[in-house]
Amino acid sequence: MTRLHDADASSRRARRALERAMRDDAHSSRDARDDDADRASSPRLYAKSMEDLLTARAHNPAPTTVPPPIAALAGNIGERHVLVFVGLPLRGKRTIALRLTRYLRFFHGARCRAFDVAYAGHRGDEKTSSLVNNLRDFLRSGDAITDVCTEYGIEAKEASAKHVDSGRVAVVYSSDASATFYETWSGTSKERRRAILKELEDLERDLDSTGPRRMKVKTIFIETTLTREELVEEVLAQRVARDARNGRVREDEIEAAKESWRRRLDEYRKLYVTLQEDGSEDDLSYIKLYNYGERVQTNKMRAYLPQRIVQFLTATHPTAHKIYLCRHGESEYNVTGRLGGNSGITAKGVAFSEILSRFALEKICGMERRDDDGDDGEGRWCETPRTVRARLWTSSLLRTIATAANIEHPTVHNGEWEQMSPRVYRNIDEIFAGDCEGMTPEEIVEKNPQAAYLRSMDKIGYRYPRGESYFDLISRLEPCIQEMESYTEPVLIVSHQAILRLIFAYLTGCARERAPGMNTFSQNVIYEITLDASCEDLITEDVDRFPSYVVAHDFRDAVAALAVVDDPDERRRFVRDLDLDAARASS
């Protein structure tokens, strides 16, 4: 028995060492990504294409040096926030924390970084001090204002007066809540939460003494609670599956690993102290999430950014779901190379529409087409054990509506749900080119060379004359992203290149500055994105190399072949016999 016990203990120590090494590798990669994201998103006060308007000229010798902020660049002007995730293990805190970090960067231009309590250090008492030191370095304002002054040629006094520092948000979570349960920054008791506030008050005083102006740090606790057992089991299954993929759990140990987690949860549940509603913690700012936004309770959540955080947390969740993205079929303006407009689709566009209709019902909804005698054929769409409820979004422009027009809408689940019921959103319309609508790139160069030059210099920030920029798209896209985040059903989004670049960049963790240069979204290709708790580990931030949770279904050859078929019966047979799985290729 002693030898067996020693062997088990040795095995556990080896496994813990392996987990630490893997966690170190993962966090080294994430730290590098955070550094890249900071460099990509800051300091940026205005669109680069506006620079010539902010320099002294004969007619304007005293120009505005810092224009008013736009929504996509406002950040959380000058403010410092520390968001601390608390709660029992296996509640999806890590996934939600990392998604929130990406959301604040992408849609609000905030300088935002995630800090993992489990990675703060591995030397006992030094772990907490290491985390606080990292937070101090990140929240410090002096370097940020110096960077802005250098970048934009602004005097330090004017920079401080105008609050050009875009603010910073630190998101604190634990990737191993069981291992860090007893640490201060786990926030698992009232005493630990008070200790966190005390350490941040000390940090605030230190920032005041070293910075150019008084620095206030606002702390917000975010607690996730699951009362539905099926949600607990789904998060548990995702965690054990991730451990199995990473070699921490063998296939034959999966059920034992789940049972071990359940026992540990029972023990932690006895010790964990939830955020109190008896008046003893009414002075704290906090958000309590029940079943991922099913019910939300807030306390002292004033100001713009905290309220946006609440709104996002109400929507997002780590449960597995799929997003399908595709461009509209080829349009008449695509053929002539013209921007924007509201043209119809060509023969190739119609061909893609017919293929998409079968893909949507069969591959997304999990249905089968059967004759009245039950055989596969040209009959109606029928439910199968794989059938799921699914959604469809299009823009308000003719080319997306026509592309989705062939998709049928059978009812399922005893008539309770209409599959692919079309929702039309103007928010996902193509970027509006203003005075350049209907022009070819060559015509723009000829008729408006300044517009062509400025857009080539600053594709994300340049706004077409009387039109839009990518920053404008980000602002109008945000409400749709929040709604999309809330869905558990798969959703097919038929939209346009600029919009899909931004959605894809957000979902795959690419910096928004890189989105306009994406060569993604060829027509006649459907991108399948599977979102769950493991996605954050798979992000590449490489616009040319998709993460492994993205699969492309390429129908370009099939569309070219179908477009030249005139006979209606032959077209139906072509679509019916098309091997949809052959088009699947991991990106």
Q: Is 75 part of a structural domain of the chain?
A: no
Amino acid 413 reads H
Element (H, E) at 486: helix 470-486
SS3 112: strand
Looking at the structure, do residues 426 and 294 belong to the same domain, yes or no? no
Backbone φ and ψ of 272, nearest 5°: -70, 140
| Cβ(165)–Cβ(148) below 8 Å | yes
Q: Are residues 11 and 143 in the same domain?
A: no
Domain, as residue range, for 133: 80-315
Say how many domains are in the chain.
3
Model pTM?
A: 0.86
Q: Give the DSSP letter of residue 222.
A: E
CA trace torsion 118, 235, 319, 507 (10° rounding): 30
Which H or E element spans position 521? none
Indicate the residue among 256, 291, 315 that finishes a domain.
Answer: 315
Same domain, 155 and 280: yes
Q: How many CB atoms lie within 10 A of CB 128?
A: 18
Cα–Cα dist 358/566, whole Å: 19
CB count within 10 Å of CB 233 equals 14
Question: Measuring CA to CA, which residue among 310, 43, 37 is closest to residue 159?
Answer: 43
What's the confidence (pLDDT) of residue 371?
77
Cis omega before residue 490 (within 30°)?
A: no
By the 10 Å C-beta count (0-12 exposed, 13-18 middle, 19+ buried), 370 is classed as: middle
Check residue 533 and give its pLDDT.
86
pLDDT value at residue 94: 93
Domain at 495, CATH number: 3.40.50.1240
pLDDT given for residue 377 in this prediction: 55
Whether 249 is in a domain gets the answer yes
Beta strand residue intervals within 459-533, DSSP E: 491-495, 525-531
> Residues in the chain, how many?
587
Which CATH number do you get for residue 146?
3.40.50.300
Distances (CA, A) of 188 to 180, 283, 448, 462: 9, 17, 61, 47
CB 436 within 8 A of CB 467: yes
On whether both 112 and 218 belong to a single domain, the answer is: yes
Residues whose CB is less than 8 angstroms from the CB of residue 113 and which lie 6 or more positions away in sequence, other chains included: 34, 38, 101, 138, 168, 169, 170, 171
Q: Looking at the domain assignment, is residue 447 inside a domain?
A: no
In terms of DSSP bridges, do strands 550-554 and 525-531 run parallel, antiparallel, or are they unpaired?
antiparallel
Alpha helices in 42-141 (DSSP H): 93-108, 126-139
HSE-CB for 367 with a 13 A CA cutoff: 27
345 and 253, same structural domain?
no
Q: Are 337 and 258 contained in the same domain?
A: no
Instruction: Tell me how far apart the terminal alpha carbons of the chain are, to the nearest angstrom.
Output: 51
Are residues 403 and 291 located together in one domain of the fold?
no
- The whole-angstrom separation of Cα 501 and Cα 516 is 7
Query: Coil, helix or strand for 530?
Result: strand
Does 42 map to a domain? Answer: no
Q: Are residues 262 and 161 in the same domain?
A: yes
Among candidate residues 388, 517, 448, the one with its CA nearest the CA of residue 40:
517
Q: Are residues 299 and 410 in the same domain?
A: no
pLDDT tens string, the chain, 587 residues long: the values are 444 344 444 444 444 444 444 444 445 445 545 555 554 444 566 777 787 788 888 888 888 877 777 777 665 566 889 999 999 999 999 999 999 999 999 998 888 999 999 987 544 445 556 899 899 989 885 555 545 455 545 455 454 444 445 578 999 999 888 889 999 999 999 999 999 999 999 988 887 766 555 678 999 999 999 999 999 999 999 889 888 888 888 888 999 999 999 999 999 999 999 999 889 999 999 999 999 989 999 999 988 889 999 999 999 999 999 999 999 999 999 999 999 999 999 999 999 999 999 999 999 999 999 876 655 556 899 999 999 999 999 999 999 999 999 999 999 999 899 999 999 999 999 999 999 999 999 999 999 999 889 888 899 999 999 999 999 999 999 999 999 999 999 999 999 999 999 999 999 999 999 999 887 778 999 999 999 988 888 887 777 788 889 999 999 999 999 999 999 999 999 999 999 998 876 54
Give domain status of residue 488, yes or no.
yes
Name 364's bridge partners.
none
- Residue 327 and residue 292 in one domain: no
Is residue 130 domain-shared with residue 254, that is, in the same domain? Answer: yes
Q: How far apart are CA 318 and CA 232, in angstroms?
A: 11
**Do residue 327 and residue 305 come from a single domain?**
no
Residue matched to tokens 């600029």: 498
β-partners of residue 296 are 289
Q: Which of 315, 350, 366 is the last residue of a domain?
A: 315
Domain C-terminal end among 295, 315, 335:
315
In-domain check, residue 122: yes
Residue 374 is predicted with a pLDDT of 54
Calpha distance 553→171 (Å, rounded): 36
Does 47 reside within a domain? no
Q: Which two tokens stand for residue 518?
A: 């994406």
Contact indicator for 486, 391 with CB cutoff of 8 Å: no
Do 115 and 134 contact (CB within 8 A), yes or no?
yes
Q: How do beta strands 295-299 and 168-173 pair?
A: unpaired
444 part of a folded domain:
no
- Predicted pLDDT of residue 305: 87
Nearest by Cα to 272 from 192, 199, 172: 192
